[in-house]
Amino acid sequence: MSRWTSPSLRAAACRAGVTACLTFAATLSLRAQDAPALAGNALRNRAAELSTQLAVPPSPAFALVSLEESAILRPTSFQQFATSLSSFAGAGGGFALPRAVGVELAPIFLARGKALSLDQYRAHPARYRLRLSGAIKRSDDATGSTAAALGLRLSLIDETDPRTHPDAARFLTSLAEKIVAICRRVDGPPSDDAEPGAVSCADPRGRVASLTAQLSALRASAPDSLRQGLERQLDAARARAERNQREIDAINGTLERFKQEWPGNAWNRNALDVAVAASAVSRDSLGSDPRFDVLAMWLSGARRWGEWGQLVGGVSARSARDSLGGDRHAGVSLGGGLFFGANRIKGFLQLSATAQQKRKPQGELTGGSEFYLLPGVWAQASLGWGQEAVTGHGRLVTHFALRTAFPQLLPSRGGS
């Protein structure tokens, strides 16, 4: 999950006819290790994500091959990716894949990251938000049949991404400018033995440490006037460093508040996501007799409606092989809805329809609410009417879920 506080509501909704269900899904470390726009993606608590039928899965390949979170690698660099792969080396030097493994990364962002400027990113944000996911899972049974999937997700529009949001980027820049202004107070150039690196603008030249070391090194026989002079310099350096640190702390406090409030300001911003994924299964772990299994596509969009609302729409299509008969069947789901309220409490009305080969079309109309209970705990409840897939009879649809989304809040630290 992004360091930017955000409850995440991606857990699958539980829809079970007239039976209410309770979901308690801990969504720890959901995303963002890799993708640039994770900042944007993870801080979304946007309304479109409330609806599983409309939502584009964050990692499309994992939607086709279900994996435990612990089996997923999200490398933050290609070097880290290579290191992760090397851990799969077998005893004989061969390559031994674990029973289940998934990889998700933003390849273009990773490739250009170190040299990628903010304006280059802003010129082609979708390119850098592209995320690829891949997964392999071997069954536990004796055959060792294996499923593999590949997917990609593209966020064409993501107004929750602070890098592309002009106000957010400008605000973050203005805070950085204030800290730089504190660094600028140095009274001389760096020393010959100094090395470039991270510093604290409270005391960029390390005067406090240097004077402390000088005082400690003074011999007992050193003149009192020398000692007192050093002590005075040290007191002055400490006072200056403390004053600077207080200013830096205040700036970081403003930054932290901004990050906490950003999801609330951003919940109903415009977004357009598309994803595709395909999977195949083989008879054994060696890839014998591979067969194409599922092809799926998702498209969802959200449009802000004033300060309090958001219109969302989505379509997903899927062509899958029947696991028993081997026949292929296709299905399409369409949906749209209106979400209204604020970040902490939202209401929604949603209409969806599903058409599948050899089945009667289904429709569902639901309304409900999602609301904040406690830090990290959200509740969602809905009530609606839908059609049974087989009989076509109407049915009451209820849904209740409790979700945890522990924000990865950074402690209030004073900066470097």
Partner 1 sequence: MQVIRFDRQQGALRVEVRAGWANPGAYDLILWEADSNARVMEEAGNFLNSADDSYTLPGPASAHDGRIVEAFVTITPVDEQGRYSASLRISQGGEVLGDVSVSGESAEHTVMLDLFARLEATP
- Does 160 bind partner 1 (CB under 8 A)? Our answer is no
- Does 177 bind partner 1 (CB under 8 A)? Our answer is yes
Residues 227-256 binding partner 1 (CB under 8 A) are 248, 251-252, 255-256
Q: How many CA atoms lie within 13 A of 231 on its CB side?
A: 7
**Segment near partner 1 (CB under 8 A); pick from 49-57, 137-145, 196-204, 308-316:** 196-204
User: CA-CA distance, 324 to 91, in Å (whole number)?
Assistant: 38
Nearest to 185 by CA among 171, 199, 168, 205: 205
* Assigned token pair, 271: 């977004």
The residue among 109 and 340 lying less far from partner 1, judged by its C-beta, is 109
CB atoms within 10 A of CB 368: 18
User: CA-CA distance, 379 to 106, in Å (whole number)?
Assistant: 32
Are the beta carbons of 361 and 345 closer than 8 angstroms? no
Q: What are phi and psi of 183, to 5 degrees?
A: -60, -35
Print burial letters for 182-220: b (CB count within 10 Å at least 16), e (below 16): beeeeeeeeeeeeeeeeebbbbbbbbbeebeeeeeeeee
**Segment near partner 1 (CB under 8 A); pick from 51-59, 111-119, 279-287, 344-352:** 111-119
- Does 75 bind partner 1 (CB under 8 A)? Our answer is no
The residue among 127 and 318 lying less far from partner 1, judged by its C-beta, is 127
Burial of 95 (0-12, 13-18, 19+ CB in 10 A): exposed
CB atoms within 10 A of CB 294: 19
The residue among 178 and 344 lying less far from partner 1, judged by its C-beta, is 178
Letters for 258-297 (x = contact with partner 1 by CB under 8 A, - = none) are: -x--------------------------------------
Residues 384-413 binding partner 1 (CB under 8 A) are 408, 410, 413
CB of residue 406 vs partner 1: minimum separation in angstroms? 14
**Segment near partner 1 (CB under 8 A); pick from 60-68, 83-91, 192-200, 297-305:** 192-200
User: CA-CA distance, 371 to 380, in Å (whole number)?
Assistant: 6
- Any idea of the CA torsion for 208, 212, 218, 224, to the nearest 10 degrees? 70
Between vectors from CA 372 to CA 275 and to CA 34, what angle results, nearest 5°? 35
- Does 170 bind partner 1 (CB under 8 A)? Our answer is yes
The residue among 98 and 253 lying less far from partner 1, judged by its C-beta, is 253
CB of residue 412 vs partner 1: minimum separation in angstroms? 9
Are the beta carbons of 143 and 283 closer than 8 angstroms? yes
- Does 7 bind partner 1 (CB under 8 A)? Our answer is no
- Does 117 bind partner 1 (CB under 8 A)? Our answer is yes
Letters for 8-37 (x = contact with partner 1 by CB under 8 A, - = none) are: ------------------------xx-xx-
Residues 197-216 binding partner 1 (CB under 8 A) are 197-201, 204
CB of residue 173 vs partner 1: minimum separation in angstroms? 5
**Which residues lie across from 328 on neighbouring strands?**
321
Angle of the 224-266 helix axis to the 166-183 helix axis, nearest 10: 180
Q: How many residues bind partner 1 (CB under 8 A)?
A: 64
CB of residue 79 vs partner 1: minimum separation in angstroms? 12
Q: Footprint of partner 1 on this chain (CB under 8 A)?
A: 1-3, 32-33, 35-36, 38-39, 42, 76, 109, 113-122, 128, 162-163, 169-170, 172-173, 175-177, 179-181, 183-184, 187-201, 204, 248, 251-252, 255-256, 259, 408, 410, 413, 415-416
